[in-house]
Amino acid sequence: MNIGIDKIGFYAPHLYVDMNNLALARNVEPAKFTIGIGQEKMSIAPITQDPVTLAANAALEILDEQDKEKIDFVIFGTESGIDNSKSAGVYVHGLLGLNPHARSVELKQACYGATAAIQMAKGHVALNPESKVLVLASDIARYGLNTSGESTQGAGAVALVISADPKILALEDKSAYLTDDIMDFWRPIYSDKAFVDGKFSNEQYILFFQKVWESYKSKSGLGLADFEAICYHLPYTKMGLKALRTVLEQGTEKDQERLVENYQISTTYNRNVGNIYTGSLYLSLLSLLELNENLQAGSRIGLFSYGSGAVGEFFTGILQPNYREHLHVDYHKQLFDTRTEVSVPEYEEIFEKTLPIDGSTVEFDIDSDPATICLSGMKDNMRLYINKHN
Ligand code: HMG
């Protein structure tokens, strides 16, 4: 039985800052951000969007009534969850009106969480072939104003439906993974901003890629020639390229050209959104699938997932016949086309605006946020959500 990605949707908040402007405001050469880091625009989450609403908005567009009935497992991968007890999956389950006879949980291991969710979903569907699993990957990346990580922030979510006989990508069974207890990036419970050892994190990312790639090759007997494309977790778009370059010489000139060209296509959405942590790899996959119209059904796509701390995995999928018919290309194009640019001072003001932590009541102006699902306020330490369609 084939199991894999049946549907895939994406959502980013409607605000962004231009990286050229951010560079100028930080006295940095703009080319450092746009070429050295490889980012053009950075999504900014207004106070009315949090990881729950971003995920719910990403799922809203792709789910139909049959999905809502058949989904019996919601797995929410995030590293910027909103509660240390209640899972973000339960909130989204409620906001989307899913079948109550479902499990809902949250998974955490930095940016790797959604990959663990997908593997768990695959196991669930193998045991329950009629089931569908909703995997959510949603985060707001915050390093802080004027920090070295600032240019690699972002906000957004990807929603995936995992099922038997998937319409987009059938996941293959061979996979290689690795855990090593390192401190390259972390966020203690008391901090809403991440701590990072930037250079070390880059080195570890590449090392993890090399190790899981070698392990995958010996498990599968496959090599670069067997891949149409490899998608990467993209904290910034230059990162995956650095990892890819370390193995390119294993392929022919033709392999190298194909993989680099597809790599560039796979980074387009991420380049305009920033790091969305758990969703970054899947945003890159979406970018490749939606923007390269020449991919053939039957092609193999490699996926490298990395979550600081650290866990890495290399796994693969096969494109399904007529997969393009099941993408939401126009919706995503419109999402990008209708965003609003904010100035650096406006971004700084939004960044500093945080929710009350003293139980006071606040109400937000949700009319200024075009999203269907918004955070409308807080009361008694509870977040209040609204689905404008209800
Ligand atoms: P930095 O010190 O600001 O930048 O840190 P840099 O000095 O290393 O420069 C970056 C690149 O720009 C270099 O290119 C420069 O040469 C180039 P490279 O040598 O690396 O190819 N550059 C220029 N290029 C063109 N024109 C110019 C120019 N000037 C310089 N004028 C860093 C950059 C990414 C380290 C920092 O932003 C950071 O710490 N970010 C956060 C950590 C991160 O993203 N790490 C990535 C791997 S870890 C990961 O992926 C996990 C993560 O997603 C978290 C999770 O799992 O939850 C982060």
Same domain, 238 and 337: no
Same domain, 55 and 85: yes
Q: Give the residue from 292, 323, 354 where a domain finishes.
A: 323
Domain that holds residue 263: 170-323
| Ligand 1 atom with minimal separation from the 199 CA | 35
Q: How far is the CA of 290 from the centre of ligand 1 (A)?
A: 27
pLDDT of residue 117: 98
Counting ligand 1 atoms within 8 A of each CB, the residue from 42, 80, 107, 148 with the most, and so the one to mutate, is: 148
Average pLDDT across the chain, whole number: 98
pLDDT tens track for 79-103: 999 999 999 999 999 999 999 999 9
pLDDT tier at 75, thresholds 50, 70, 90: very high
Same domain, 46 and 80: yes
Q: How far is the CA of 342 from the centre of ligand 1 (A)?
A: 23
pLDDT tier at 299, thresholds 50, 70, 90: very high
Residue 382, number of CB atoms within 10 A of its CB: 11
pLDDT tens track for 38-59: 999 999 999 999 999 999 999 9
Q: How far is the CA of 301 from the centre of ligand 1 (A)?
A: 26
How many Å is the Cα radius of gyration of the chain? 20
pLDDT tier at 390, thresholds 50, 70, 90: confident
Give the mean model confidence (pLDDT) for residues 63-84.
97
pLDDT of residue 87: 98
Closest residue by CA, ligand 1 atom 15: 36
| Ligand 1 atom with minimal separation from the 205 CA | 47
Give the catalytic positions in this structure.
79, 111, 233
Residue 304, ligand 1, Cβ within 6 A: no
The whole-model pTM stands at 0.98
Residue 57, ligand 1, Cβ within 6 A: no
Query: CA of 228: how far to CAs of 268, 283, 292, 344, in Å?
Result: 17, 17, 11, 39
Output the domain CATH number for residue 303.
3.40.47.10
Q: Give the residue from 323, 354, 379 where a domain finishes.
A: 323
pLDDT of residue 110: 98
Same domain, 54 and 184: no
Same domain, 136 and 256: no
Provide the CA 60 distance to its chain's centre, in angstroms: 16
Q: How far is the CA of 198 from the centre of ligand 1 (A)?
A: 7
pLDDT tens track for 354-384: 999 999 999 999 999 999 999 999 999 999 9
Whole-number percent of the chain with pLDDT over 70: 100
Same domain, 119 and 247: no
Is residue 134 classed as helix, strand or coil in its secondary structure? strand
| Ligand 1 atom with minimal separation from the 185 CA | 54
Give the mean model confidence (pLDDT) for residues 187-198.
97
Give the mean model confidence (pLDDT) for residues 153-175.
98
Same domain, 177 and 142: no
Same domain, 204 and 220: yes
Task: Please count the structural domains in the chain.
Answer: 2
Counting ligand 1 atoms within 8 A of each CB, the residue from 27, 185, 244, 305 with the most, and so the one to mutate, is: 185
User: Are the C-beta atoms of residues 286 and 336 closer than 8 Å to each other?
Assistant: no
Q: How far is the CA of 149 from the centre of ligand 1 (A)?
A: 8
Q: Is 256 exposed, middle or buried (0-12, 13-18, 19+ CB in 10 A)?
A: middle
Residue 147, number of CB atoms within 10 A of its CB: 17
Counting ligand 1 atoms within 8 A of each CB, the residue from 182, 200, 308 with the most, and so the one to mutate, is: 308
Same domain, 336 and 348: yes
Q: Give the residue from 273, 299, 323 where a domain finishes.
A: 323
Closest residue by CA, ligand 1 atom 9: 36
| Ligand 1 atom with minimal separation from the 139 CA | 57
Is residue 77 classed as helix, strand or coil in its secondary structure? strand
Q: Which residues of 218-234 are buried (b: 16+ CB within 10 A; e: fewer)?
A: eebebebeebbbbbbbb
Residue 277, ligand 1, Cβ within 6 A: yes
Same domain, 148 and 46: yes
Give the mean model confidence (pLDDT) for residues 255-266.
98
Q: For Cα atoms 253, 220, 110, give the angle at the middle one, nearest 5 degrees.
A: 90
pLDDT tens track for 265-278: 999 999 999 999 99
Same domain, 146 and 196: no
Same domain, 289 and 340: no
CA distance 129 to 54: 29
